[in-house]
Copies of this chain bind each other. A is one copy, B any other.
Amino acid sequence: MVMEEKKISSAVIRRLPRYYRYLGELIESGVQRISSKELSARMKVTASQIRQDLNNFGGFGQQGYGYNVQYLYEEIGKILGIDRNHNMVIIGAGNLGKAIVNYSDFEKRGFVIKGIFDNNPKIKGTKIRGIEVRMMNELTDFIKDNEIEIVALTIPKEAARQIAKVVADAGVKAIWNFAHTDLNLPDDVIVENVHLSESLMRLSYTIANRK
């Protein structure tokens, strides 16, 4: 595939899930093909940006015809690695952990939540969306037995730093980190951070510096 021959910029990669979302919405509304100009109007991105971005992947458009929506959707899905399942575990059965477990869209995209872990013995064995809450001492074995690829950390920062190491030692190479801290892990472990405080501060920055 073309994508493996060249380095794609992280800016393009950041935009891909958004293309994927828009194309999914187009499919839902029965649109079969779309020009870069129409897609541009919907996404509020310039048509030339769209063409340039999609050219990174060999380009799926044809002059005068536009893009085949279904095809492009599937190709971007493959590029994003969501054409196959990823087994996932959630650490922390608090509100945020529950929100993630209950969000059915993740599973639709192939992120299969296999287990939920917490350190509160009171909720041991309870279920969230049918998935059992387990205690932390089972974590390492569970990761190995269930071929877990992704671990989401929805726990306080001190715990997150500790558990991230445990999880990396158990062979997990991808961590979805919601704790308000950076995790210092070996370079081969990918960390995707969702720092809500920082997002909120960007909002207040824009409020403070408006006009």
Prevailing SS type, chain A contact patch: helix
Could you say which of B95, B174, B195, B203 contacts A207, with CB atoms under 8 Å apart? Answer: B174
Which of A162-196 touch B at CB < 8 Å? 173-174, 176, 180-182, 190, 192, 194-196
Q: Are A80 and B201 in contact (CB under 8 A)?
A: yes
A105 and chain B: residue at smallest CB distance: B197
A114 on the B face (CB < 8 A):
no
For residue A96, which residues in chain B have a CB less than 8 angstroms away from its CB?
95-96, 99
A55 on the B face (CB < 8 A):
no
Q: Can you tell how many copies of this chain the complex includes?
A: 2
Known: A109-B197, A176-B199, A200-B192. A81 touches B17 (CB 8 A): no
For residue A173, which residues in chain B have a CB less than 8 angstroms away from its CB?
207, 210
Which of A90-147 touch B at CB < 8 Å? 94-96, 98-100, 102-103, 105-106, 109-111
Q: When chains A and B are docked, how far (Å) is the Cα of A14 from the Cα of B210?
A: 16
Q: Are B13 and A81 in contact (CB under 8 A)?
A: no
A74 on the B face (CB < 8 A):
no
A15 and chain B: residue at smallest CB distance: B198
Q: Are A204 and B21 in contact (CB under 8 A)?
A: no
Q: Are A80 and B204 in contact (CB under 8 A)?
A: yes
Q: How far is the CB of A73 from chain B (nearest CB, A)?
A: 13
Q: Are B17 and A198 in contact (CB under 8 A)?
A: yes
A188 and chain B: residue at smallest CB distance: B210
For residue A21, which residues in chain B have a CB less than 8 angstroms away from its CB?
180-181, 195, 197-198
Q: When chains A and B are docked, how far (Å) is the Cα of A81 from the Cα of B201?
A: 8
Query: Which chain A residues have a beta carbon within 8 Å of chain B's beta carbons?
Result: 3-4, 13-14, 16-18, 20-21, 43-44, 79-82, 86, 94-96, 98-100, 102-103, 105-106, 109-111, 149-150, 173-174, 176, 180-182, 190, 192, 194-210
